[in-house]
Amino acid sequence: MIMAQTQTQTTAPTAPVFELIEVEQVFPVPRPGRPFMSRDTVGLRALDGVRLRIAQGASLALVGESGSGKSTLLRVLLGLDAPSGGRALYRGKPIREARAFGTGFARDVAMVYQDARGSLDPRMTVGALVAEPLRHFGIVPKGEEAARVAQLLDRVGLPADAATRYPSGLSGGQIRRVAIARALASEPSVLVADEAVSGLDVSTQAQLLTLLRGLQRDMGLTLVFITHDLGVASYLCEEIAIMYLGRIVETGPTDAVLSHPAHPYAAALRAAAPRFFEPIPEPLPGEIPSPLDLPKGCRFSSRCTAAQEDCRLRDPQLGQHGAGRAVACLHPLTETGAQASEIR
Coil, strand or helix at 238: coil
Calculate the CA 278 to chain-centre distance: 29
CB 213 within 8 A of CB 235: yes
Contacting Mg ion within 68-107 (CB under 5 A): 71
Rounded CA separation 147/142 (Å): 10
Contact status: 193 vs ligand ATP (CB under 6 A): no
**Degrees, nearest 5: CA angle 185-186-189:** 110
Residue closer to ligand ATP by CB (options 65, 310) is 65
Binding residue (CB under 6 A) for ligand ATP from 5, 59, 68, 227 = 68
201 binds ligand ATP (CB under 6 A): yes
User: Which residues within the stretch 280-299 sit at the binding site for ligand ATP (CB under 6 A)?
Assistant: 291
Measured in whole angstroms, how far is the alpha carbon of residue 48 from the centre of its chain?
16
Least distance between ligand SF4 and beta carbon 244 (Å): 9
29's contact among Mg ion, ligand ATP, other proteins, none, with CB below 5 to 8 A by partner kind, is ligand ATP
Binding site for ligand SF4 (CB under 6 A): 263-264, 298, 300-301, 304, 306-307, 311, 316, 329-331
Q: Could you tell me which of 213, 190, 243 has the C-alpha nearest to residue 54?
A: 190
Of the candidate spans 60-68, 100-108, 152-160, 327-335, the one that interacts with ligand ATP by CB under 6 A turns out to be 60-68
Q: What stretches of 156-220 show up as alpha helix (H) in DSSP? A: 172-185, 202-219
Please choose, out of 30-38, 66-74, 247-255, 329-337, the segment that lies near Mg ion by the rule CB under 5 A. 66-74
104 or 172: whose CB is closer to ligand ATP? Answer: 172
Among 67, 92, 94, 324, binds other proteins (CB under 8 A): 67
